[in-house]
């Protein structure tokens, strides 16, 4: 019990050091780094918008792609009807990457930032990068 004050001082210093980045960013008033993602889609005839709204598709795109995969592979469902009634082929490369053609600027920016390695390219051929 004689060393209790040493332990408390050590814990307080440890917490100060560990939490310093949080306090610094809070005091600095700047938002944390976010990747620059190429959102613009190329003008594809017959496609004026994405299969879902940006707010819906960003956090749930892997769920949508998994549903598409299961529908196509297991049930033979090849058409996706969007909430607006528009029909799309269920295809990562022929639908998504037809508009968002630069994988490095569109997919990889977020995936690298989040530290995730999606398994899309285990089956699909990586598209040629468009400069």
CA-based max dimension of the chain: 78
Please tell me whether residue 21 adopts helix, strand or coil conformation. Answer: helix
pLDDT band at residue 130 under the 50/70/90 scheme: low
Closest by CA to 101, choosing from 58, 28, 43, is: 43
CA atoms within 13 A on the CB side of 52: 14
* Strands in the chain per DSSP E: 79-81, 87-89
The per-residue pLDDT for range 57-91, each reduced to its tens digit, is: 888 888 989 999 999 999 999 999 888 888 889 98
Would the pTM of this model clear 0.75, i.e. be above it?
no
């Amino acid at each position: 019990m004689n060393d209790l004050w040493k332990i408390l001082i050590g814990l307080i210093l440890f917490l100060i050091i560990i939490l310093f980045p949080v306090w610094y960013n809070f005091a600095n008033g700047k938002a944390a780094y976010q990747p620059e993602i190429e959102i613009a889609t190329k003008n594809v005839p017959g496609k004026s918008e994405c299969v879902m709204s940006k707010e819906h598709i960003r956090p749930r795109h892997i769920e949508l792609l998994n549903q598409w995969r299961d529908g196509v592979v297991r049930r033979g469902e090849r058409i996706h009807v969007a909430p607006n009634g528009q029909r799309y082929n269920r295809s990562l490369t022929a639908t998504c990457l037809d508009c968002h053609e630069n994988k490095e600027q569109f997919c990889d920016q977020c995936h690298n930032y989040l530290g995730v390695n999606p398994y899309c390219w285990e089956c699909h051929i990586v598209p040629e990068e468009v400069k």
